[in-house]
């Protein structure tokens, strides 16, 4: 898998002080962005794990997952528009797969807008497979979601 970070770039756990930059990325990335309160609640959840990718101290992307036993669900992943197609999304995926593999997670799930072909292509490169569809999952646009799963040897 690709997605190696350059010098001066790091992936670390998300903290409350990252939220201003994370929320900016969220608002630039999604039709219905998460609220600050939702980010705060997720950060405080015992089943949540969140990471940011930093470039010279600037947050350029993030990923948020819930995990229970052998399953992890990617809730949210985004990269700032100015830093897309530079490997940051791939780096985040690599990081969480390695992180959770060490914790015996063998399956990852996510939903992605059916029209988001760039994201679907990225996830497919990492072994995610389409396993279903949720009709009108995105209520603000009535767009369907593609459900994808990555299964690791257990």
* Beta bridge pairs of residue 107: 71, 151
Strands (E), 5-151: 9-13, 48-55, 58-68, 71-79, 107-113, 129-138, 143-151
Residue 123 falls in the annotated catalytic set = yes
Catalytic residue among 13, 107, 123, 138: 123
Catalytic residue among 26, 83, 111, 137: 111
* Beta bridge pairs of residue 20: none
Q: How far apart are the first and last CA of the chain?
A: 19
Residue 82 falls in the annotated catalytic set = no
* Beta bridge pairs of residue 104: none
CA–CA distance, 127 with 83 (Å, rounded to integer): 23
Active site residues: 111, 123
């Amino acid at each position: 898998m690709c997605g190696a970070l350059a010098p001066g770039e790091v992936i670390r756990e998300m903290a409350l002080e990252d939220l201003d930059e994370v929320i900016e990325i969220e608002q630039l990335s999604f039709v219905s962005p998460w609220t600050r309160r939702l980010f705060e609640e997720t950060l405080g959840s015992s089943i949540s794990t969140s990471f940011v990718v930093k470039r010279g101290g600037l947050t350029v992307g993030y990923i948020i997952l819930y995990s229970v036993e052998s399953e992890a669900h990617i809730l949210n992943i985004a990269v700032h528009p100015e830093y897309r197609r530079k490997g940051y999304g791939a780096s985040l995926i690599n990081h969480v797969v390695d992180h959770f593999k060490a914790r015996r997670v063998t399956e990852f799930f996510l939903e992605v807008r059916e029209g988001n072909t760039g994201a679907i292509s990225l996830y497919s490169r990492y072994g995610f497979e389409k396993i279903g569809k949720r009709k009108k999952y995105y209520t603000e646009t009535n767009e369907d979601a593609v459900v994808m799963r990555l299964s690791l040897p257990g």
